[in-house]
A and B are shown apart, each in its own frame.
Chain A
Amino acid sequence: MQKPFTRTYSGSKHIVSYMAAFIFLIAAMLIGISIGTVRVPTGDIISIIGRSVLNLQPGKDIDPMFTNIVMNIRLPRVLLAGLVGASLAIAGAAFQGLLRNPLADPYTLGVSSGASVGAVVTLFFQITLPFAGLFTLPLLSIVSAFGTIMLVVFFARSIDRAMRVETIILTGIIFSSFLGALISLIIALSGEELRQIIGWLLGSVSMRGWSYIYIMLPFTLIGSLILFLNARELNAMSFGEERARHLGVNVSRRKYAVLAAGSMLTGAAVAVSGTIGFVGLVIPHLTRLIWGPDHKHLIPLSTLIGAGFLMLADLAARMIIQPAELPIGVITAMIGAPVFAAILVKRRMESRGS
């Protein structure tokens, strides 16, 4: 009887995977909160969070300055980094599975640029949708992100029915460049708003406070829930749309659901933190290398790893040229671009080998 053995084996393997990813996330979070101009001991962090969130009464007194730093500055910052990281990572995983393209990510596909255009336009014209209020910015970012991905996919398909990896990426770059130019134009016209927009564009999670977390959270939850519910369909679609159709997947509906969820995650992330590239490329790639390509696990694991990764990237961004800060996008690009190159080289070698 081989069956029970394989089952328990794979089951325990997954428990270990989730434990490891979870420990990584908690560790990244504690380190992110602890380190800074003022160092907060880990024990104190746990007490502060415990007291504020769970109303526990710890034995010893804690410096109120620590409480202030943790609750008002570091914790929201780290949580926002986590939400953005998780959103971008699973958006990347979803785009990659759907387009069967290991190089796809919100940034390389031009979706981030699309979302930025939506955000910049919203800021520039100071648009407020009557019913949306605070959510105007993310909603418009999401809408323009979705519009961009639809255009990119439509365009790539019309020039190359097979939708080769390189075609999609080139299309993404074309759209990115065009949309980037559009943003520059708006900024040039904007005058005094300039500084704020440029700082935002380069990507940052600093000084956002709790309100941004409340803006971001619903989109992250809904988007990742949709993708998680489509994990099996993503598995099938990563063998090609026709194959998925033959296996019984309602491809047209599922495809739009995935694209919409990916755009939602990207748009919301861009709205609160600007364009942060390559997270959606690096994290799913790494996760797949360690735990395999099954989207049922790839998506939740990418969420955990992506969140932890961006917390650490943010830490690096604020520590390297202390007391000044680097845009977080600089850190992710420095890690992401070489990974992008490595995947490209590996693919070339494989296609030459076979």
Chain B
Amino acid sequence: MLEVNNVSGGYPGQRVLENVSFSVNRGEMFGILGPNGSGKTTLLKMISGILPPDGGKVFLKNRLLQEYSAKELARILAVLPQAASDVFSYSVKETVMLGRYARQRGWFHAWSMEDETAVREAMELTGTWEFQSHLLQELSGGERQRIFLSQALAQEPEILLLDEPTNHLDLSYQKELLDQLKRWTRERGLTVMTIFHDLNLASLYCDRLLLLDGGKVSVIGSPGEVLEQERIQRVYKTEIEKQMHPIMPKPQMVLIPEIGEERGTVDESCLSVSEGDVRATMDFPLKTLAYSSGESGFGWKKEFVLIAEGLGDKEAVKQERLVMAAPAASRFAVEYALSKSGGTSVFAVAILTNPAEALHLWVFINGELTEQAFVEAMVTAAESKADVSDPVAERGDRQDDSIIIAATQSGTRFCSGRPSSQLGSLIREAIYKSIK
């Protein structure tokens, strides 16, 4: 559909792009990423024929871009500008009707039924038909953006170029617009090429991404290939962490603020034991991987509570509190131990309930764990627990047992929690010492 071949150029006295090559297939949603000044808009201008390249060639449908007349080009390619300004107060419909300019024929450019249908369809798709007689100036930025999208769609293009289409839109319209564009690529074979500021939106919606860095192509590929943590940190020169989207198999980049929250350390001073409950309370949240009757999975928790039923009714469930229940009138035998190595320490708490004989194991780590380290630490803790608690194996039903791995996420960074690793041995040591 579109082929960009070794394109270089920019403005007089300022070369913005250098040897950019890529191609976009029909029906594809193609995203262009890059920090400010990396040449995204310049590239879009070259592809839309506004700015002739100094070197290299752009082919549209196997024909050189410069060979198209302005009208021919507008019938194939439409552009949604970043921000279109308007001086005179045209009505919404008049504005959209301009999109038919390149399609109207004959000497008098009579307005045909075909034009009317195209305009109406474009406006209905963007939900702007109902304010067709409003003036453009009465509308909000987001509404105007949708009007100009209708204008571009009224051109009935085969390829749509967008420059940060979600710029003025609030969250629900961002999603609606991108969902709609994606649907058109699938249902109508529309080719969409768009500049994105938001890496995460680009990752979610684009089939392929092009990352520009200083006017050169850094990488082209699927979101998974392009959005690599080290590369994004290098190109954007900022702290960023890659995570996977919880539902989609797409990477998401998370910003990490330079000034974090105050984090302390966890030790026995955090622990309080009374008649009906055991609790560990911190004044900052810990990243927690839990396996428990209360809840399981990842979270950020400030307070860990094991409480006998009946008393627990008072304990409101809060986002930052993890509550585990024990049968009414249970008594708790609490033991704990600290293992230390270098600047890191692991504080383990083992609680045996009576009469149900459930074993709760809370492992607090003063250090930073990657997701991988969390999972490995969980396994290490479970294996250690099994090693040590063998004598009470006859307890039978162990479904009330829990294991919690919680880390302060500051200090030493651990990428592994396997038994053989430094962290793994600290965990084992603490658990062995606490469960005797």
Contact = CB atoms under 8 A, between A and B. Distances in A.
A100 interface: yes
Given A249-B70, A293-B90, A243 B84 contact: yes
Nearest to B93: A6
B91 A292 contact: yes
A240 B90 contact: no
Nearest to A238: B88
A246 B81 contact: yes
Nearest 9 pairs between A and B by C-beta?
Answer: A248-B74, A248-B102, A293-B88, A246-B79, A248-B71, A250-B70, A100-B87, A247-B101, A248-B101
B197 interface: no
Interface in A292-342: 292-294
Interface of B: 45, 48-50, 69-75, 78-79, 81, 84-91, 94-95, 98-99, 101-102, 104, 109, 116, 120, 137, 151-152, 155
Interface string A264-290: 000000000000000000000000100
Contacts of B45: 242
A238 B81 CA distance: 15
Given A3-B116, A232-B101, A245-B50, A250 B69 contact: yes
B78 A246 contact: yes
A251 interface: yes
A239 B78 contact: no
A242 B45 CA distance: 9
22 contacts: A3-B120, A100-B88, A101-B87, A102-B88, A232-B104, A235-B94, A238-B87, A238-B88, A239-B84, A239-B85, A239-B86, A245-B48, A245-B49, A245-B70, A246-B50, A247-B99, A248-B101, A250-B69, A288-B89, A292-B91, A293-B88, A293-B89
B290 to A, nearest CB: 50
A259 interface: no
A293 B95 CA distance: 11
**Could you tell me the dominant secondary structure of chain A's interface residues?**
helix
Interface string A230-242: 0011011011101
Contacts, number: 81
A240 B85 contact: yes
Interface residues of A, number: 27
Given A232-B101, A245-B49, A294-B94, 10 more contacts: A235-B94, A238-B87, A238-B90, A239-B84, A239-B85, A240-B85, A242-B45, A243-B81, A247-B74, A248-B71
A20 B98 CA distance: 27
B11 to A, nearest CB: 10
Contacts of B102: 247-248
Contacts of A3: 116, 120
Interface in A222-236: 232-233, 235-236
A233 B74 CA distance: 14
Contacts of A238: 86-88, 90
Nearest to B99: A247
Contacts of B89: 288, 292-293
B10 to A, nearest CB: 14
Nearest to B49: A245
A236 B88 CA distance: 11
Contacts of A102: 87-88
B81 A242 contact: yes
B87 A249 contact: no
